[in-house]
Amino acid sequence: MVAVSGLAPEAAPDIAVERCERISEADLLQLCEATNAAIIEGGGFGWLEPQGHDVLMRHFRGVLMVPERELFLARLDGRVVGSAQLVKPPRNNEAQAVGAQLTHAYIAPYARGVGLARKLIRSVEERAASLGHRVLNLDVRETQTTAIQIFETLGYTRWGTHPAYARVKGRIVQGHFFHRLLDPPRRRGGS
């Protein structure tokens, strides 16, 4: 990048994704803000109307208590701007333990365009593979076209469409189902 009028070029944003086992009050408030921003923008979480911070705080604290769920936080310059959840099958479902579910994946509108969505999805994939899952499943409303494009460019296969998947603003919309086969984790230090 070239400096203009003697100004230094802008630094690239610092993006990070982490698996969250505990959450601070500050991070929780940022997560609630990002969640409501994504809801207002129309996608990624399932709620159609913004929620109060108390509702969202209870929700995320509850997610952290469920053994079959793992919460991932996306950060832009240290600030929480999105999340995703990995949902593992219950222990009594050994037949379907091959697969896990990616759900509630979103990035706040003010943090998009820097590669965080892809990094978030790849982090969930890596974790699922490390747990022995070989398939990651997800579903998306047809109205979430950007999310659909991201999943398709990351190698997800659309295998089906539900004609009456959800109701959005009084209208029934379709939903699309995707899966991606995961590579087994690589062994370190050997063949």
Which residues, in sequence order, are CB contacts of 103 under 8 Å at separation 6+? 84, 85, 87, 138
Distance CA 34, CA 108 (A): 5
Distance CA 87, CA 41 (A): 24
The Cα angle at residue 72 between residues 69 and 23, in degrees rounded to 5 = 90
Distance CA 106, CA 45 (A): 7
User: What are the tens digits of pLDDT across the range 176-189?
Assistant: 999 999 987 776 65
Q: Going by CATH, does the domain composed of 15-181 fall within 3.30.420.10?
A: no
* Residue 7 binned pLDDT confidence (cut-offs 50, 70, 90): low
* Residue 6 binned pLDDT confidence (cut-offs 50, 70, 90): low
Pair type for strands 99-107 and 135-141: parallel
User: What are the tens digits of pLDDT across the range 42-89?
Assistant: 866 788 899 999 999 999 999 999 999 999 999 999 999 999 999 999
pLDDT above 50 for 160 = yes
> What pLDDT is attached to residue 189?
58
